[in-house]
Amino acid sequence: TLNNFFYFFVYGQIFAKTGTLNKVKTLAGYMKTNSGKTLVFSLLINNYAGSVDQVKNKMEQLLQPALSL
């Protein structure tokens, strides 16, 4: 679920599906940028060290700059 993702984004800019297995975290979907462009993305983090929250934070950091395009 995206309820615990993207606290800093304006609601409605990211439309995605999450997935979780043991030591695998995925997020795929599309986003509407601030200029109105539509971008598609897919992230898969496999065999990570650390917590799920750390992985979620890193995913947010990877996607946040794209919203400015």
| DSSP code string of 11-69 | TTSEEEEEEEETTEEEEEEEEE-TTS-EEEEEEEEES-SS-HHHHHHHHHHHHGGGGG-
Tell me the pTM.
Answer: 0.76
Per-residue pLDDT 10s for the chain (69 aa) are: 555 555 445 545 888 898 989 999 999 999 988 888 999 999 999 999 999 999 999 998 998 888 888
- pLDDT (0 to 100) of residue 28: 94
CB neighbour class for 42 (10 Å; exposed up to 12, middle 13-18, buried from 19): exposed
**Residue given tokens 């997935």 in the structure block:** 19
User: What phi, psi does 17 have (nearest 5°)?
Assistant: -125, 135
- pLDDT (0 to 100) of residue 4: 55
